[in-house]
Amino acid sequence: MKLCIAEKPSVARDIAKVLGATTARDGYLEGNGYCVTWTFGHLCTLKEPHDYDPSLKYWDLNTLPIIPQRFGIKLLTNKGVEKQFKTIEKLVQDCEEVINCGDAGQEGEVIQGWVLQKAGCDKPTKRLWISSLTEEAIKEGFENLKPAEEYLNLYLAGNARAVGDWLLGINATRLFTKKFGGGKAVLSIGRVQTPTLAMIVQRQKEIDAFQTEDYWELKTKYREVVFNADIDRLNSQERAEKGLDYLKQHLFEILSFEIKEGKEKNPRLFDLTALQVEANKKFGFSAENTLKYVQSLYEKKHVTYPRVDTTYLSESLHPKVPGILQKMHFYTHLIAPLLEKPIQKSKAVFDDKKVTDHHAIIPTDIPPSASLVREEKLIYDLIARRFIAVFYPECKISNTLVEGKVGEIPFKATGKQILELGWREVYVKDKKDESEEEKNEEQSIPEFKVGETGPHEPFVHQGRTSPPKHFTEATLLRAMETAGKQVEDEELREMMKNNGIGRPSTRANIIETLFRRKYIEKKRKNLVATSTGMELIDTIEDELLKSPELTGEWESKLRKIESGEYEANQFKQELIKMVWELTQKVKTGRGKTIELHEVKPEVKKEKASRKKSKIIWEEMDCPKCKSAKLVKGKTAVGCTNFKKCGFKIPFEIFGKKLTEKQIQDLIQKGKTSKLKGFKSHPENKSEGSLSLGESFEVELN
C-alpha cells in the first residue's frame, strides 16, 4: 500500500479521486493500492521553552538566553490534531511507500517533514510537486514523482527559518518584556516583524518632523497648452509677483518641438506580492484577505499555486497557453485576436532561469462558475486580465517635449499620446479608474514650429510642500520585498527579491501581527505607527533587530540554504551568537518602561459596557455606510437606512444565537472572541471567531 499525505482534506479528496481511492475511512480514503490521508496544515510545532525545562514557563531575565541543545517538535494541543496524527502514524507504519503531497513550497515541506519525523517514518518517500489541483496536473504529477531527497535543502531552509524565528522571537520578546515592559506589557519582537515595524516608525517620524512650506511657480498658457517655468520654485509671493509682471511684458517663443515614439512594456505576470499590491490599490483588500481569496481560487482549481515569488512561466508551459486561453470564456472578445496567430515565446514571459519552485500565478483551464463570492471574482479578474495582457503587443505611445521662453525665463511642456493601445486594450474598462496623476500626464499638445511667437496668459500657481506619504499595505509590501529600498523598475525589483524581508506567503501575516500587537493602526488606507510601536523601536538600540537591509541578508542566506550554497547549521550558530550578544547588551543597558497606551481605554470601555443593562444601538454609527445609525429589530441589528445600505447582523448566525455584547464586538471591533456552538456552517465548523469581511458579511474564522 502506498500512503499519500496531503495538507488539507479537500486536496486529499482531489488526489484520491484521481488515484481511484474512493472508499472513505476514518481519517483517510482508500482504494486501488493507495491510502490518502491529510494534515490540517500544521499538526506539529517546535517545542516551547517549558517543554525543555518546566521552570522556563516563568519569564525571568536570569534564565535568558534560552538555547536548546537540540530543537524538538511536538503535536499541537488539540484533540482533532491528536486523533488525525494517530491515523497518520499507523498508516506510516503499515505502508510500503510514502508520497508527500503537501503544498509544493517551503512551508509545505516543513509541515510534512515534521509530521513524518514525529511519526518515525523510515519508509521510502517520494514527492508530488504540482502547481495546480486540476485532474490533469495531479495525473501528470504522479507520473513524475521525485525522490524526497531532492527537496531536502528546501526542508532544511524552512526548518532553519522556524528555528531562527524561535531563537530570536522567544529570547528577544522575553528580554524586552522583562526589561522594559514594566510587568504589564508584552513587547513582541520578531526577526521580520521588528524591521517591518521600524520602516513604518521611520516613515512616521519623517512625516511628524516635516515642516510644510509655501511655494510659488510661474506658469503660462500658450495655444491652450500649459507651460511650466523651468526654474526653481520661488519661496515668496513677492518674487512670484515680480516674475509675473516680467512675463506680461514679453511674448512667448518656441525654442524646440520634439516628438519621440516609444513603447510601454507589457505588465508582468503576478507573483503573490504583486497581486496583493494590486488588490490593495484597486479594491482596498488587505494582504491577508487577498491571500485568502487566491488560496480559495487555487483550491477550487481556477488558478495555479499562489504562494510564489516569480513573475515568469516555465518554458514547458508555452504549448499549453492556447488551451488555457480557449477555456477562458468570460474574456472571448479579448482572447480572439491572440488565437489568430501562434503565441510568441517571449523571454519576458517564459524563462526557466527565473522560475524556482513554481511559476507565476495564472488561470488554469477550469473557468470559474458564477458561484464565486464577489471578492474571489475580483481577484480572478486581475489574474485573468494580466495573463491575457502579457501576450498582447506592446502599447505604442508618443512623448512630446516643447521648450520655449518668455524673455529670459525658460518654459517647457510635456505630453503623452497613446498611438496604439496594445496590451492596454485589456484594461479599457478600467479607464475610469485611472489616477489623477495619470490623467494629467496626457496633456494633448498640438504641433508647434520652432521660432514661432505669440501672446500668452501667464499666471502664478501657489502650492505647499507635502510630507512623505504614509505606508499603505501596497507600498509596505513593496518595501518588504526590496528591504526598504524604493525601487520602481520591475527588473531591478525582481533581482532584489532574494534580499527582501519575509517571504511572499508570510508578509501578510507579519502585517496582521503588527495590528494585533497594537504597534500599528490603519487610518483609511494609511498604516500609522502607534505610540507603543514608536517607543518600542526607539528602545531597541541593536540595528540587527530593526534593520531591513540586515534582515534581508538573513533572508538571502535562507535562500542559499534552499539552493545548497549555505549550511543551515551555520545560519543557526550566527543567530545564537547574535542572541547571546543582544541579551548581554540589553541586560546591562538602560531604558524607560514602555506602556501599551492603546490597551487602557479599551479595558475601561469593556468595564463600562458591563455596567450597562442595555446596549443603545441608536447611538452607534453603521460601520458600512457610516452615515446612518443602527436599530434593533426582531431578528437582527441593522442600518436605519437599510434599503440603500443593506447592513445587518442577525441574532442567530450559523445556528448559534449571539448575545448583544457579541454583536457589539462584531460591529465595533470587526470580530468577536472565540465562540463555540455553531451548528449549520457550510464547512461544518463548530467553533471560531466571527468577523466582518470586506463586503461586511459575517465570516467564521
* CATH number, domain containing residue 49: 3.40.50.140
Residue-wise pLDDT tens digits, 211-239: 999 999 999 999 999 999 999 999 999 99
Question: Residue 370 falls within a domain, yes or no?
Answer: yes
Select from 556, 588, 620 the last residue of a domain.
588
Question: Residue 228 falls within a domain, yes or no?
Answer: yes
Q: What is the CATH number of the domain that holds 476?
A: 1.10.460.10
Q: Same structural domain for residues 110 and 52?
A: yes
Q: What is the CATH number of the domain that holds 223?
A: 2.70.20.10
Q: Same structural domain for residues 317 and 416?
A: no
3-state secondary structure of 322: helix
Q: Same structural domain for residues 489 and 457?
A: no
For residue 105, the model assigns a pLDDT of 85
How many residues in the chain?
701
Band of residue 597 on the pLDDT scale cut at 50, 70, 90: low
CA dihedral 338→340→341→345, nearest 10 degrees, is 20
Residues 6+ apart with CB under 8 A from 402: 225, 227, 254, 256, 257, 258, 412, 413, 414, 445, 448
Grid coordinates given for 279:
488588490
Band of residue 666 on the pLDDT scale cut at 50, 70, 90: confident
Select from 362, 389, 416 the last residue of a domain.
389
Instruction: Characterize the bridge pairing of strands 453-454 and 526-529.
Output: unpaired
CA-CA distance, 118 to 120, in Å (whole number)? 5
- Please determine, for residue 596, whether its predicted confidence score (pLDDT) is greater than 70: no
For residue 487, the model assigns a pLDDT of 58
| 679 burial via Cβ count (<10 Å: 0-12, 13-18, 19+) | exposed
For residue 589, the model assigns a pLDDT of 81
In percent, the amount of the chain with pLDDT more than 90 equals 67
For residue 651, the model assigns a pLDDT of 87
For residue 278, the model assigns a pLDDT of 96
Q: Same structural domain for residues 6 and 140?
A: yes
Question: Residue 155 falls within a domain, yes or no?
Answer: no
In percent, the amount of the chain with pLDDT more than 70 equals 92
Question: Residue 150 falls within a domain, yes or no?
Answer: no
For residue 378, the model assigns a pLDDT of 96
Q: Same structural domain for residues 254 and 192?
A: no
Residue-wise pLDDT tens digits, 93-152: 999 999 999 988 888 899 999 999 999 999 999 999 999 999 999 999 999 999 999 999
Band of residue 598 on the pLDDT scale cut at 50, 70, 90: very low
Residue-wise pLDDT tens digits, 519-540: 999 998 899 999 999 999 999 9
Lowest-confidence segment of 194-198, 260-264, 373-377, 673-677 by average pLDDT: 673-677
For residue 439, the model assigns a pLDDT of 42
For residue 601, the model assigns a pLDDT of 34
Q: Same structural domain for residues 488 and 380?
A: no
Out of 28, 34, 305, 331, the active site residue is 305
Select from 554, 572, 588 the last residue of a domain.
588
Q: Same structural domain for residues 481 and 558?
A: yes
Q: Same structural domain for residues 33 and 136?
A: yes
**Cα radius of gyration rounded to whole Å, the chain:** 30
Lowest-confidence segment of 177-191, 290-304, 504-518 by average pLDDT: 177-191
For residue 675, the model assigns a pLDDT of 86
Per the annotation, the verdict on 52 as an active-site residue is no
Question: Residue 534 falls within a domain, yes or no?
Answer: yes
The total domain count for the chain is 5
The residue among 429, 324, 308, 433 whose CA lies nearest residue 387 is 324
Q: What is the mean pLDDT of the chain?
A: 88
For residue 610, the model assigns a pLDDT of 35
Band of residue 265 on the pLDDT scale cut at 50, 70, 90: very high
For residue 258, the model assigns a pLDDT of 96
Lowest-confidence segment of 45-49, 114-118, 562-566, 667-671 by average pLDDT: 667-671
Q: Same structural domain for residues 258 and 402?
A: yes
Question: Residue 151 falls within a domain, yes or no?
Answer: no
Looking at residue 535, its amino acid is E
Residue-wise pLDDT tens digits, 8-58: 898 999 999 999 999 999 999 999 999 999 998 889 999 999 999 999 999
Lowest-confidence segment of 141-145, 473-477, 478-482 by average pLDDT: 478-482
For residue 361, the model assigns a pLDDT of 97
- Please determine, for residue 683, whether its predicted confidence score (pLDDT) is greater than 80: no
For residue 497, the model assigns a pLDDT of 66
| 99 burial via Cβ count (<10 Å: 0-12, 13-18, 19+) | buried
The residue among 499, 625, 480, 477 whose CA lies nearest residue 555 is 499
Residue-wise pLDDT tens digits, 390-426: 999 999 999 999 999 999 999 999 998 899 999 999 9
Residue at grid coordinates 511655494: 215
Question: Residue 605 falls within a domain, yes or no?
Answer: no
Mean per-residue pLDDT, 197-206: 95
For residue 438, the model assigns a pLDDT of 43
Q: Same structural domain for residues 18 and 118?
A: yes
Q: Same structural domain for residues 229 and 174?
A: no
- Structural domain boundaries enclosing 413: 214-266+395-464
Q: Same structural domain for residues 293 and 340?
A: yes
For residue 642, the model assigns a pLDDT of 74
For residue 429, the model assigns a pLDDT of 64
Question: Residue 602 falls within a domain, yes or no?
Answer: no
